Structures are given as C-alpha cells and as structure tokens.
Amino acid sequence: MDSLGIIGLGTMGASLARNAARNGVKVVVYNRTKQKTDEFIKFHSKEGDFVAVSNYKELVKELKPPRSILLMVKAGDATDAVISDLIPLLEKNDIIIDAGNSHFSDTDRRDSELKEKGIEFIGMGVSGGEEGALKGPSMMPGCSKTAYKTLEPLLSNMSARDSDGGRCLTHVGEGGSGHFVKMVHNGIEYGVMQIIAESYDLLKTLGECSNEDCADIYESWNETGELASYLLEITSNILRKNDEIKAGLLIDKIKDSAKQKGTGKWTTQTALDLGIAVPTITAAVDARIISGSTQDRKIRSVLPIVVDETEPIPKPMKFRSAVRSAVELSIFCAYRQGFDLIRKANEEFGWNIDLSEVARIWQGGCIIRAVSLRKYQQLYNKDKKQSTIAREYFESRFAGERQISWRQTVEMGQSYGIPVPAMAASLSYYDAFAKSSLPQNLVQAQRDYFGSHTYERTDKKGSFHTEW
C-alpha cells in the first residue's frame, strides 16, 4: 500500500494524516473547509508526501487502486453523506475506513450496504487523543480479513507498542466489532475518570489535602504496579498546572460541569439491551449528567445535608491508603464490566473477538492504558493455567484489608455527604456477585402477586404461580 486518502482534517484527522505520512505513504487530504486544508499543508507539508485536493473526484484520482480512504468526520448523517458521495467514484475492492466514533449498529449497516457494491468497509476504533493519533494510537479495526490484510502493514506502523513491544493493533472481528470495542473502551474510560474524581474529592474534603498534595499522591500511586496508568499520570500533571490568566492553579478555575459525546451513554444503553450489568460505567454517565444540570443543582442547593460525624476519619496516611484501595478495586470492577459486555456482544453477534487481544492492544496508545491490563490479558488467555494465575491474583487483591478499606472509604464519603457513585456502584456490583443469595426472590414474588408473572422454585423445576 503506497497511498492513503483522508477526509476530515480536524484534530484527530490531521494527526492520523501526519502519522501515515511519516510512515512512508503518500497522503491525499481533503477537508470540507478549504482553509483548514490550506493551513494543514502550510504547517505540515515538510513532514511527508502530502497532496491537497479540493473535491472527492480529485482525491480518488490521486489514489492508486485498490484505494483506501479514511474518514474522520462527524458520526451519523455526516458519515453517511460522505460515503454516499464517494460510492459512485469508487471501484470494486476499494476500501473506506471510518475511524470516527460511529455507533456499531451504523457500522454494521454500512458494511452490509457496501459489500453489495463490492466495496470493503472498515469500522475502526482509534484511541489516544491528538498525541496518540500522531505518535501511535491503539487501533481497533472491524472488517473482513481481506480488508485487514491490505491495511495491516500501514496500520501496524502507525499504531502504538504494547507492553511487550508488539503493536496495539488487532483484527477485532467482522462488521461493527471494532466500533463496539472502542465504545466499551470509552465506557470504561468514563468509569475510571469518575473514580479518580471521587478520590480527589475525598482527599481534598476529608483528607484536607491541597492540589499539590493530591498531585504527589497520584504520582506515587502511578509508580505502583496495580494502579500505574495514563489517567493517573495526567491527573497528577493537571493538578500542578498553573493558570495562565489569573494567579493560582488552573484546576480551581475550571467549572464543575462535565460534558460527554455519547459513547458512555451508548455503553450503558447497549449493556441494558444485552442484559449485562455495568453499574460503575452507568454511575459515571449519571455523574456527568448531574454535573451538567446546573440549573437543577442551583435550585436544589438548599437541600439539607446531615453529616454523621460519629464516623471517624483515619489519620492522613491511613486515610490515603484506604482511598487508594477503593480506587484500585473500583477500577478493577469498571474494567471487568467492560470485558463482560464485550463477551456478551461477542456471543450475541458472532464476532469472534479475542478478549485477551483486546486487553493487549489497550496497553499502549489509548486513554485507558494501564499496567493492570496485562493481568486481564492473562485472565482471558486460552491457556487455562495462565487464566487461573490471573484469577487468583485478582481474588488476592480483593481480599483482606483492601476490601475493608474500600468499604470504609465508601462509608466515609456517604457519611459526610460526599457523592461517591462510581465507588459505591463498584462495591455493590462486587457484593452482588459474591453473595450466595440475593433478595430478588422477593421481587419475583411481587411480580407474580400483581401481574401473575410466575416464579421458579429452589426445590422443583418449572414455573409456578400463586393466588396470593
């Protein structure tokens, strides 16, 4: 493959174009706004072999068949419109790559439609932000094996390295599998970010830590094998950043209203559809929604908070250690929920996704990269011995004082009126799976009482109904 077309020169599109050019291919670029194309060429033309074009016809003409065209445009109707305009210009075996955050169901549909026309389609999740896209992201392509084989040499060179020096790239599966895995990646991202934010609130409010103290704490946690991750690393950096407009640290000037682009919400919706519990991720989505409900928050700010001051706050070092345990175990739950969702979708849609490979390609380049992913790679390994070793490792992390500290941290937050929704959801998730019996026997009885929905018994097979 010696050429690649790229449509869309926003932050990610421009970085991917530069990445591809640095890896030796001719890159033909187009953006709907000509000014952006001109600026791109002005600043980056010396980085590689770039050709700027003003329309799709010119773009297709500049590419050698079979052509490969990567789209970095807004998901939804905009992506459909670009594909529709390209189809009449393309030939059999040409490849369209959607590297945006499209919904996996749209990717499945587009894949089917383009197959009928003899055109290959790749729905590729890309994670790593602007820097990752330029220097090496994690890439999650879902497509036919033929299309993957064509693109693999270039994508391999463009992608990040995993913890063992391999590439953060794999053939995820067919159809919408790549975008599904990226969607779940983003859902986990929501969960981990919320857990870290809750720990920040606890450390500042109850632990009386300054921003600089918190930065030091996160930096020290990031040096440990269990918690070392990109998100902890950047959190430490964020808390040390001075404001360039006014004196003081920037974090204290940022409004506490978080936005979202929809992938976290999609994760929660899809989990509900597939019958998989992802409470940590859902709690994180809800937390962003509440934070953004500024008018409602203002109205309800007069609500009374009665603090249980009988709950003792441990001495500083013990308190920090307790919060650390809560962060570690809550994050483990967030990852596990994501992998369970991929596993279920794999069964439902027949994508043949290798969970161990997913854990591997998330170890570099992407936003949720973390040392613990090596254990998840091992957990989902087809080698039962390796899987058992990883399972026993996780069980040991949840045992003893760490679990007690996790419970105490959640309790302290709730006792002092500090919302810890993701930590609490993780703990309830863990307890629900660990408990030998759940109170849903009462729920089933209630359903049968008012709706004759029947129930199953513990001592007999079959469905039963009672005239209550």
- Measured CA to CA, the distance from residue 246 to residue 138 in angstroms comes to 37
Tell me which DSSP letter residue 18 carries.
H
- Measured CA to CA, the distance from residue 300 to residue 293 in angstroms comes to 11
Pairing of strands 68-71, 50-52: unpaired
Contacts of 232 (CB under 8 A, 6+ apart): 196, 218, 221, 222
Tokens of 224: 């440990």
30's enclosing H/E stretch is strand 26-30
Residue 351 near residue 173 (C-beta atoms within 8 A):
yes
Residue 362 identity (one-letter amino acid): W
Sign of CA dihedral 446, 447, 453, 456: negative
- Measured CA to CA, the distance from residue 395 to residue 162 in angstroms comes to 25
Active site residues: 182, 189
- Measured CA to CA, the distance from residue 117 to residue 93 in angstroms comes to 9
Pairing of strands 138-142, 120-127: antiparallel
Residue 19 near residue 42 (C-beta atoms within 8 A):
no
Tokens of 54: 């003003």
Please report, in angstroms and rounded to a whole number, the separation of the first and last CA atoms in the chain.
Answer: 71
- Measured CA to CA, the distance from residue 86 to residue 81 in angstroms comes to 9
Residue 362 near residue 297 (C-beta atoms within 8 A):
no
How many residues does the structure list for the chain? 468
From the list 227, 220, 255, 252, the residue with the least C-alpha distance to 239 is 252
122's enclosing H/E stretch is strand 120-127
